Amino acid sequence: MLSRFGINNGEIIPVCVMATMSSGKSTFLNAILGEEILPEKNEACTARALAVLNQPGTAEAKAYIRKNDGKNYAVDISYPSTVSKINADENVLDVLIVKDILTLENTDKAIVLVDTPGVNNSGDLRHAERTKEILEHLEKGIIIYLLNATQLATNDDELLLQMVVSHVKHHKDVKLIFVLNKIDMLDEEKESIQNTMENASQYIKDHGIDGFEIFPLSALSAKVFRLKLNEKRLTKTEQRYLDQCYQEYQDESKSMLRFAHSYNQMNKEYFVNHKRVSEYALRRAIENTGIVEIEKEIGRLIISSKRQLPENIDELNEYVNLEGVYSRKRRTKNPANYSGRINWICKKCKQINGEEQSCLYCKAPNVKWRAV
């Protein structure tokens, strides 16, 4: 997939999230990203694989798309609905989002997170075909397999798990992490988290996997805590859920942690359920959802890699900008982006300029520029 954007796959550590429809893949990834970038719905919403490439130091997330005309384009995704519109566009073949992923350890490595289509979408067989294609081309990297705690061992999950297990057994450089998501949706009066974990472990063992790690998780709780911590906008439904689940994850008996972590006391405060809560308390609540342990496991599996960021990543800046196609034209204080002007990118500092004689930022002469 990345090779279609001119990036060498061999330079990338792929982390593919796989699961049946509505197991919470996009919610899980948005929790790691710390903002709502990937579309989330109750029905199958990922019509194609969406990849998020980690690029440390990136100020804002940017999307690059490949259309069926064979051309690549750059898209501003600062508006929340933009990625959903891109995902619904039948003319879009691939989507690559570039972002600084601050939550993963060892983020100096070239990591790409891949949100794969749900394979049990009976309305669109291309979902299963695309996921199978991604799996077939995965020779090294990590697969995060999400299990739905409320719907274990469905027929669709059986088929997908068999396919993933078979692939991992034949590719020793592909590591497998299991995540038991939606743990917060269990009715503990009927079935405890411990029993559900044991049932999930047995289900995995029955497919010939031994010595695996399985992490319980509430991806939705982790996501709303992260949105609050990063001062992102919450919907009314998300705010109500935050107020409801915050007290629960302050209870250490509800913690999904495998071992304790220590934080320095932090002075920043947030309002949750009309009460002041400290940054420390909110971070502890995030840990208790289980998301942090999964991020650490990803980092542990990556740490042995010596790969650096792809040298040709800057070539993405050459793509034609589709400003206003999927969202309103963004206002900017950058004098080089006024309408009616040809934009150029400075090869030295990578900033966008107008038709000035020298770069507005680093003063390099315009002979070093290229059109965008």
Same-domain pairing of 238 and 273? yes
Same-domain pairing of 133 and 246? no
Same-domain pairing of 160 and 107? yes
Same-domain pairing of 53 and 168? yes
Same-domain pairing of 197 and 224? no
| C-alpha pair distances (Å), 230 with each of 102, 223, 324 | 11, 10, 27
Q: Which of 246, 223, 219 is nearest to 235 (CA)?
A: 223
Same-domain pairing of 32 and 146? yes
Same-domain pairing of 212 and 277? no
Residue 144's DSSP bridge partners are 17, 177
Q: Which residue has the tokens 């800046």?
A: 317
Q: Which of 127, 177, 176, 179 is nearest to 152 (CA)?
A: 179
Same-domain pairing of 208 and 225? no
Contact partners, residue 62, CB within 8 Å, separation at least 6: 74, 75, 76, 77, 97, 98, 99, 316
User: What pLDDT is stored for residue 85 in this prediction?
Assistant: 87
Same-domain pairing of 137 and 14? yes
Total domain count, the chain: 3
Same-domain pairing of 281 and 316? no
User: What pLDDT is stored for residue 332 in this prediction?
Assistant: 43
- CATH of residue 19's domain is 3.40.50.300
User: What pLDDT is stored for residue 19 in this prediction?
Assistant: 93
User: What pLDDT is stored for residue 212 in this prediction?
Assistant: 83
Q: Which of 75, 77, 96, 71 is nearest to 7 (CA)?
A: 96
**Strand, helix or coil for residue 157:** helix
**Strand, helix or coil for residue 227:** helix
**Cα atoms in the Cβ-side hemisphere of radius 13 Å centred on 127:** 24
User: What pLDDT is stored for residue 325 in this prediction?
Assistant: 66
Same-domain pairing of 170 and 32? yes
Blockwise average pLDDT, block size 10, the chain, 372 residues = 63 88 90 89 62 84 88 84 85 89 68 82 63 87 94 90 94 93 88 88 92 88 93 91 86 56 52 83 85 84 58 63 62 40 58 61 58 41
Q: What is this structure's pTM?
A: 0.72
Range of the domain at 249: 220-287
**Cα atoms in the Cβ-side hemisphere of radius 13 Å centred on 326:** 25
Centre a 10 Å sphere on the Cβ of residue 126 and count the other Cβ atoms it contains: 12
Give the whole-angstrom CA distance, residue 60 versus residue 111: 17
